[in-house]
Amino acid sequence: MFAYGIFKVIYSPLKAFKEVVEKPKYTGPILIIILFALANTGFGYVFLSKVYFDQTTPRASELDEWTEDCALWASNVGPAICSEDHVSGDYYGNRSIEFSVVNGSHIWTQLNITNHVSCLNSEGYRELSFRAKWIRTDEVGPNVTVYLFSTSSDHFYCDLTQNFTESESNVWNNLTIPLGSENERWTNSIANVHWDNIDGLGLNFTWPSVSNTTVLIDGLFFHGVFKPVIGISMGYLFNYPLIAFMQFTLQWVILGGSLYISCKIFGAKAIWKVLFPIAGFALITLLVQTIINTAAIAASPEIHYPLKALGGVPGEAEASYDHVFEQTRLLYRFMSYVEVVIGVWAAVLCGIAIRLLYGFSWIKNLLMAGLAYLAYFVVINMVLPFLL
């Protein structure tokens, strides 16, 4: 029987643990660790294939570089200013772009996009997002138009005035505009302007009267293309076997220690060289749990994380994550039920092993095992979040 027949613990625990008690060795638990690491690698691959992240230009690693560099912008009111008044978040830097005019009513700004952006095919970006803040003494909202240039003069334009109708002065406004020829909000300057070659962006702010006026722009992104995490970087996958190895080893030690202490409390002679292998074999339940969770993930719909969730803006990100969680509530509820069943199963396996080791009554054995598993559960939930 190879490695004491580790799978016999699943379908014939009495026979399996009898052999473990008679000839305790670590070969079986070590093999379970290897299988657990492999199973978690499979889980990671399936999970990362189901999770889709919103792709952006500029890329997340570059933060919102278009609103970090004043040199990229031109305007009718002079050079842009890099302002420290900015939106906080994981995708956002520490500056915004500011334009100011004294006794003016019109601010026009334009960004030159050196790496052309496509918003046309299935790989093209589907949305444009940016943050805008205006500051005036008269508190009157502006008329706003956004332009996307396909050549130096050919462009699309979209009236955003309705988005600013109820906006307030000195407050960041978050705008997301759908892109593409099928969106009726956009108008072509000429008939043959193309969505697959966007090389510039303009913003036009107009007020009905003159006043000291400031406009700030931050967090400018093209986005709306979702790609699976596994397709973005295989590096994420390599973490799963490493974390699985650390997780199993830690849980093995803690469960073995809990069994040892529980046996001492109930007056039994605690034998570490037997209790430790017992704990390792009982944790084969983690392998079964991983396989079940992998199947559940594989059968579930794709999980999409939009820019609002990934951007990390306080309040906004939490609300977006809550929306994503609502879509996956049934999946995670099922996985939580599986965790409870697996925990009870592992505790029962420990009780079977203790009975074979000491010959106590079933009630006493299950009490000893239940106390040990409860202590193990408490310690694991206190320790794992900080270590993994």
If one counts every other C-beta atom within 10 angstroms of the C-beta of residue 118, the result is 16
Q: Measured between alpha carbons, how far is 63 from 274 in angstroms, rounded to an integer?
A: 54
For residue 107, the model assigns a pLDDT of: 93
The DSSP annotation for 131-145 comes to: EEEEEESS-PPPEEE
Q: What per-residue confidence (pLDDT) applies to 387?
A: 58
In our burial notation (b when 16+ CB lie closer than 10 A, e otherwise), range 342-366 reads bbebbbbbbbbbbbbbbebeeebbb
The whole-chain average pLDDT of the chain stands at 88
Measured CA to CA, the distance from residue 215 to residue 212 in angstroms comes to 11
Q: Which amino acid is at 377?
A: F
Q: 298-315 in b/e burial notation, b at 16+ Cβ within 10 A? A: eebeebebbbbbbbbbee
**pLDDT surpassing 90 at residue 124:** no
Q: How many helices (H) and strands (E) does the chain have?
A: 11, 11
Question: What is the residue extent of each domain of the chain?
Answer: 2-54+230-387, 56-228
Q: What is the pLDDT of residues 177-223, one digit of tens each?
A: 999 877 777 888 776 778 888 889 999 999 988 888 999 999 999 99
Q: Which of 46, 62, 212, 224 is nearest to 138 (CA)?
A: 212
Determine what percent of the chain is predicted with pLDDT higher than 90: 41
Residues 179, 126 contacting (CB under 8 angstroms): yes
Is the pLDDT at 388 greater than 60? The verdict is no
Contact partners, residue 57, CB within 8 Å, separation at least 6: 115, 117, 125, 221, 222, 223
Residue type, 227: K
State percent of the chain over pLDDT 70.
97
pLDDT(2) > 70: no
Judge residue 219's burial from the number of C-beta atoms within 10 Å of its C-beta, 0-12 exposed, 13-18 middle, 19 or more buried: buried
Strand-strand pairing, 73-75 and 198-228: unpaired
| Residue pLDDT, tens place only, 30-69 | 999 999 999 999 999 999 999 999 999 998 888 889 999 8
Q: Which of 138-142, 239-243, 262-266 has the lowest mean pLDDT?
A: 138-142
**Long-range contacts (CB closer than 8 Å, 24 or more residues apart) made by 229-236:** 229/48, 229/49, 229/51, 229/52, 229/53, 230/45, 230/48, 230/49, 232/53, 232/55, 236/44, 236/48
Per-residue pLDDT tens for 63-86?
Answer: 889 999 888 999 998 889 898 888
| Over residues 293-311, mean pLDDT | 92
Reduced to 3 states (helix: H, G, I; strand: E, B; else coil), residue 186 is strand
Adjacent-strand bridge partners of 61: none
73-121 pLDDT, tens digit per residue, is 999 988 898 988 888 888 988 899 999 999 888 999 999 888 888 888 7
Q: Give residue 365's pLDDT.
A: 80
Contact (CB, 8 A) for 54 and 305: yes
- Residue 219 CA, distance from chain mean position: 20
pLDDT at 140 > cutoff 60: yes
- Of the ranges 96-100, 146-150, 229-233, which one carries the lowest mean pLDDT score? 229-233
User: What CATH homologous superfamily does 56-228 map to?
Assistant: Galactose-binding lectin (2.60.120.430)
